[in-house]
Structure formats: structure tokens, C-alpha cells
Amino acid sequence: MRKFFAKLRRFWLDLWFEIKSWPGKTRRFAWDRGVKLQWNRLWIRKDEFHSSLDMDINAMFEMSQKQRDAYIKNLYKRQQIAHERDLASN
């Protein structure tokens, strides 16, 4: 009976930690991977050091490998365009 309660306590503790992490997972899924990435893709900045051109590790954490590859390719393209614009403006 003692082992049963120990397993039950472990189950509830694991469940509590899982539920506690839901807001962070939701934020990473909805905001970092969705809204924020789309907002950064709306226009390419003239400054190549703008924070929207930094790699977002939190967003990449929730992406599949295919999405991650597309994100890196798009980010590199935007960084190159911003670099060329920055050189042209100076």
C-alpha cells in the first residue's frame, strides 16, 4: 500500500509540474512561433543590427526541423537584404 501512495504522489507531482508549464508552452507556441515571427517578416529593416534580425531560439525550440530550416533560410535572406541596404545608405 505504501508503494501505491508513493506512485500516486509522484503522479500528482508530475501532473502539477506539467500543468504549471502550460502557460510557457502556450506563449512559445502562439507568440514566439506565430505572431512575433510574422510581425518581424512584415518588412525588412534598414539597420542590419535590428533585434528582429536576431535568431530567436525560443521560437526555434517549438518548431519542427522543416520549419526551422525555412526560418533560418528566411532570416539569412532578410539579414543579407538589411546588410545591403545598410551599405547603400552609408
pLDDT of residue 69: 93
| Domain span including residue 51 | 24-89
**Consecutive 10-residue averages of pLDDT for the chain (90 residues):** 82 77 67 71 78 82 87 90 85
Query: Is 47 within a domain?
Result: yes
Asked whether the whole model's pTM tops 0.85, one would answer no
Q: Is residue 3 part of a domain?
A: no
* Predicted local distance difference test score (pLDDT) of residue 8: 80
Is 9 inside any structural domain? Answer: no
Note the pLDDT of residue 27.
65
> 5 lies in a domain?
no
Our count of domains for the chain comes to: 1
**What is the pLDDT at residue 72?**
92
Residue 32 lies in a domain: yes
Q: Is residue 8 part of a domain?
A: no
Q: For 54, phi and psi rounded to 5 degrees?
A: -85, 150
Task: Tell me what pLDDT residue 25 has.
Answer: 67
Contact between residue 68 and residue 34 where contact means Cβ atoms under 8 Å apart: no
Residue 59 lies in a domain: yes
Contact (Cβ atoms closer than 8 angstroms) between residue 12 and residue 48: no
